[in-house]
Structure 1
Amino acid sequence: MAPLTLKPVTVDDIPSLSELWYTSFSIPVNLRMFPKTPGVRDWWDNANRHDLLHNPHRKYLKIVDSSACDFLVAYAKWDLDPLESGERFPAWHEESDHELCDLVFTDGCEKREEYMNGRKHYYLDMLVVHPQYRRQGAASQLVQWGCDFADQNGLPVYLDAHIDAAPLYERFGFKGREDLEATSEGALSMIREPQV
């Protein structure tokens, strides 16, 4: 097992975040929303750079393989105040399927806001792990960081995950929302109450 270390994301990491996203999530539905073109790659880079530099509510963390020149193997984007942090994404890129993006992301945000009903919470916005580093503890480190921080502050955590990833989150105390079934794409909304 590779020696994996948690560190904060830096501006220099931004292109690697986009590359890792495409390496990990290049399934047809994702590529309809975010085709792997130079323009959409720039859109991702600019969105992440803007959040990293200008949004104090969003915390980016990475896991690096210290035996491979700190190769970035995973990252998480935590939103520590989704009620105040503004739009999750900038306007969709012209090459993106706007209707599908709205369906997946805008609808999901509205469901989260409705469910949380103004209750302060943390939101695991993004968790991406390189396929060759899955099941080696990278995701667990990133989830643990957020759960520990939430527990210290007595706040719940909300996330939307693929149903295949649910067992990972369940180990940290997340439960699927009883009022929502998984979507036809396998997306599942989960919540974790603070554990003090």
Structure 2
Amino acid sequence: MTSTVRPTTAVVERASVSDIPELITVWWDAFGSEHMQRIFPQTPDGRLWLERAFKQFLGPAPGPNELKTECLIVRSPDTGIPVAIAIYRIVPAGSDAAKQSWRARWPAVDDLPDFSDAAVNGFFSPMEKAHAHVLGDRGHVFLEVLGTIEAFQKRGYGTALVKWGTDLADQLRVECYLDASPAGKPLYEANGYAEQDVSAIIEKQSAASMLRPKKSQD
């Protein structure tokens, strides 16, 4: 008799361009608070911006010494549709600051009336400032986005996506960095991240600056 028990282990894989509509669904579900919708509206303009972003992330690989983006997913075991996403930036040591800026990583909003460039900049810039303060020009793995559709939370999908990055960082012998919401902070602490004090440069943080040390030499 064939078993009907489904595997519970989350399978992390790279997203493809054909997954973009579902990636937008995950983003809107995971980051659908009123505050986030004021910055990243769930409108046709908001969808267009995310389409551009994901196409950029899934585009041709950069040169060997350039910042690299990995767009990862976990699919529903029932439907095969992406229900959790992570966006990682693999930052080589000594990377040019301009290439690390949010304006280089994310699409412009100048032609999208529903967006405010000032609001988007106000969201990214403080985190960018804290990020640079903590890491300087050291090479690292940067977990920029992590989100799971609410109905699929508490199944280990987020943990699997976090572990993908920490495993990569251990292979590369570099640190990991991320900006954590209060809700996400316990997950990151359980995976070796610790909050960093950036009060000297940021008066009021919307997210906690968190660092995971690089693996020690064996």
On whether the aligned pair clears a TM of 0.5, the verdict is yes
Structure 1 vs Structure 2: percent identity of aligned residues? 27
CA contact (8 A) 2:126 2:205 kept: no
Normalised by the size of structure 2, how large is the TM-score?
0.82
Q: Who is 1:64 aligned against?
A: 75
Normalised by the size of structure 1, how large is the TM-score?
0.90
Instruction: For structure 1, list consecutive stretches of 5 or more residues without a partner in the other structure.
Output: none
Which residue among 120, 130, 140 is the counterpart of 2:149?
Answer: 130
RMSD: 2.0
- Describe the SS at the equivalent of 1:178: coil
CA separation of 1:195 and 1:184: change in aligned 2, threshold 3 A: closer
Q: Who is 2:107 aligned against?
A: 90
Q: 1:170 and 2:170 equivalent? A: no
Mapped to 1, the partners of 2:137 and 2:215 lie a distance apart of 20
Mapped to 1, the partners of 2:157 and 2:71 lie a distance apart of 14
Report the alpha carbon displacement of residue 183 of structure 1 after superposing the two structures with TM. Answer: 4.4
* Counterparts of residues 22-33 of structure 1 (less than 5 Å): 22-33=28-39
Matched residue type, 2:72: L
* Counterparts of residues 1-196 of structure 1 (less than 5 Å): 3=8, 4-56=10-62, 57-66=68-77, 68-81=78-91, 83=95, 86=100, 87-92=104-109, 93-180=112-199, 183=204, 185=206, 187-196=207-216
Report the alpha carbon displacement of residue 98 of structure 1 after superposing the two structures with TM. Answer: 2.2
Mapped to 2, the partners of 1:94 and 1:114 lie a distance apart of 33
Superimposed CA distance per residue, residues 3-33 of structure 1 (whole angstroms, 9 cap, x where no aligned partner): 4322110110111111111111111111111
- Describe the SS at the equivalent of 2:184: helix
CA contact (8 A) 2:15 2:72 kept: yes
Mapped to 1, the partners of 2:60 and 2:145 lie a distance apart of 18
Count residues in correspondence. Answer: 194
Mapped to 2, the partners of 1:48 and 1:65 lie a distance apart of 20
CA contact (8 A) 2:134 2:196 kept: no
Report the alpha carbon displacement of residue 178 of structure 1 after superposing the two structures with TM. Answer: 2.3
CA contact (8 A) 1:33 1:100 kept: yes
Higher-Rg structure is 2
Report the alpha carbon displacement of residue 115 of structure 1 after superposing the two structures with TM. Answer: 2.2
CA contact (8 A) 2:133 2:198 kept: no
